[in-house]
Amino acid sequence: MVLVACWLSFTLTSIDRSTWGPASVFVGEGLAVPMASLGVFATAYYVGYVISNAIGGIGVDRFGGRIVLTVSLAGAGVFMSVFGSTTSATVGIAVQAVVGLFAGADYAAGVRLISSWFPSKKLGMPMGVFTTATSLGTAIANAVVPALIAWHGWGTSHHVFGIISVVVAALLLFVLRNGPEEVKGARRRLPSSGSPAGSSVPICAPSSATVTWSSRA
């Protein structure tokens, strides 16, 4: 279940990213952006994406894979929908950067969740399945987005996948659980009253000058 959830989330963020390809010409026409300048939208997305790759990893260490993955997918979905309604090139570029900023955290969260549920000696298969999401997302976008544009315009393609992303993120928030290793790590980081668990403290016997060491549970 965890593998399917992580794979589905990564597939959707990949679709969100790949929607730009078949929609770009129509976006340019709708926002009066010359063909030669359309690359700035993709650049804005990837600037946010790269930043999020690093910050998202820190967030996963701090908040856990479940929270970061669902926030990543939900945020990308919300701003995909916002982009589908924009009428300004400037706003559209900024929104694309925000979409990338959310989507970039998904990979680190997925890797954390999968590695915390599967033993290290059996990570090959789940990681192989997980990484198929990038190519599958591109294939789905290239197959579906043109039909959505022909049906109701380029904005609809962003609205549809944006809404799907938000709905799936809400479901995953309730379905996903952090793995046993991740939960153990979080418990080890919790402060305890008195001396930390497993620490050694000196105990002086009142009737003797001998100092002994005892582990306090």
Read off φ and ψ for residue 87, nearest 5 degrees.
-120, 5
Going residue by residue through the chain (217 aa), what tens digit of pLDDT does each one get? 899 999 999 999 999 999 999 999 999 999 999 999 999 999 999 999 999 998 999 999 999 999 999 999 999 999 999 999 999 999 999 999 999 999 999 999 999 999 999 998 989 999 999 999 999 999 999 999 999 999 999 999 999 999 999 999 999 999 888 877 665 555 544 454 444 444 444 434 444 443 334 344 3
CA distances from 118 to 38, 111, 114, 184, 209 (A): 42, 11, 6, 15, 52
Q: Which domains does the chain have, with CATH numbers?
A: 2-189 (1.20.1250.20)
Kindly report the length of the chain: 217
Listed residue (115, 68, 82) closest to 16, CA to CA: 82
Supply the pTM of this predicted model. Answer: 0.81
d(CA 41, CA 37): 8
